[in-house]
């Protein structure tokens, strides 16, 4: 990993990868939305309401995976002092907020016709809401310090503590009696979803993943550019303060 610790080397790699991930993202969204909204069958109970699944489920996956990326990057930052780990973690946080918000909103839209209510204090729903608050607290910590290193250290500690919520989200439907359905894809015995619905769900999952990679690279490049501008401005100020 330290081969890519040099920001210049990372930027060259990011510029090479980003167009391909963007192209894959648009392709997967195009195919996935067609399969989800047109080609996939309706559910015999939920009818067309089931199509919310193709937006909701991948958003839930990526909300958790994005936080896992932040937690791993925070661990790398604390243990190995990798210079790009904090950049990656900070860049990923707003993307995770977006995924979590989409998950909660579409879940409410799906819950109303399915459960008869927009919201219940269900273990899965509540733990995902807690995840949203952790994301927001993580971003707030970055803004709470003028010193970037102190902010990075405080945010990294919070990210690692908040990672405890991930297994709670994952196994909440197994540990407690909840309205939310149990796992139907990543489960012992294989998926219980029909292939005609599983295929568009998988394509939409890839679309979300490529979206995450593309936007993450964009945000990391923008953050590194901002750091270079700040460093250049500080050098100019210091040069002006040096007496002739």
196 phi and psi angles, rounded to 5 deg? -65, -25
Domain extent at residue 110: 51-225
Count of domains in the chain? 1
Q: What is the pLDDT of residue 187?
A: 62
Identify whether 8 is part of a domain: no
**pTM for the whole structure:** 0.91
Identify whether 44 is part of a domain: no
Q: Within a 10 A sphere around the Cβ of 3, how many other Cβ atoms? A: 8
Identify whether 167 is part of a domain: yes
**Distance of alpha carbon 160 from alpha carbon 71, whole angstroms:** 5
Identify the CA nearest to 203 among candidates 42, 20, 25, 69: 25
Q: Are 105 and 73 in contact (CB under 8 A)?
A: no
Give the N- to C-terminal CA distance of the chain in Å, as an integer.
44
Identify whether 126 is part of a domain: yes
| Regions of the chain where pLDDT drops below 70 | 1-5, 182-190, 192, 234, 241-244
Q: Which residue has the tokens 């901002």?
A: 226
Identify whether 142 is part of a domain: yes
Identify whether 43 is part of a domain: no
Q: What is the pLDDT of residue 135?
A: 97
Identify whether 165 is part of a domain: yes
**Distance of alpha carbon 95 from alpha carbon 136, whole angstroms:** 11
Q: What is the pLDDT of residue 3?
A: 60
Identify whether 207 is part of a domain: yes
């Amino acid at each position: 990993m330290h081969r890519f610790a040099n920001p210049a080397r990372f930027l060259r790699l990011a510029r090479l990868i980003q167009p391909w991930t963007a192209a894959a993202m648009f392709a997967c969204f195009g195919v996935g939305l067609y399969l989800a909204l047109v080609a996939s069958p309706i559910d015999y109970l939920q009818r067309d309401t089931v199509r919310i699944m193709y937006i909701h489920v991948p958003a839930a996956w990526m909300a958790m995976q994005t936080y896992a990326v932040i937690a791993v990057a925070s661990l790398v930052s604390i243990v190995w002092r990798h210079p790009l780990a904090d950049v990656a973690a900070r860049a990923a946080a707003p993307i995770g907020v977006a995924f979590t918000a989409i998950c909660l909103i579409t879940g409410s839209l799906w819950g109303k016709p399915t459960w008869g209510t927009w919201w219940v204090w269900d273990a899965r729903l509540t733990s995902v809401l807690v995840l949203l608050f952790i994301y927001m607290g993580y971003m707030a910590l970055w803004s709470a310090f003028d010193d970037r290193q102190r902010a990075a250290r405080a945010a990294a500690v919070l990210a690692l503590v908040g990672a405890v919520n991930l297994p709670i989200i994952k196994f909440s439907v197994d540990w407690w009696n909840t309205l939310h359905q149990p796992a139907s894809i990543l489960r012992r015995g294989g998926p219980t979803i029909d292939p005609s619905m599983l295929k568009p769900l998988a394509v939409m999952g890839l679309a979300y993943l490529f979206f995450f990679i593309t936007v993450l690279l964009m945000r990391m490049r923008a953050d590194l550019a901002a750091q270079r501008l700040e460093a250049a401005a500080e050098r100019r100020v210091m040069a002006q303060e040096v007496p002739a």
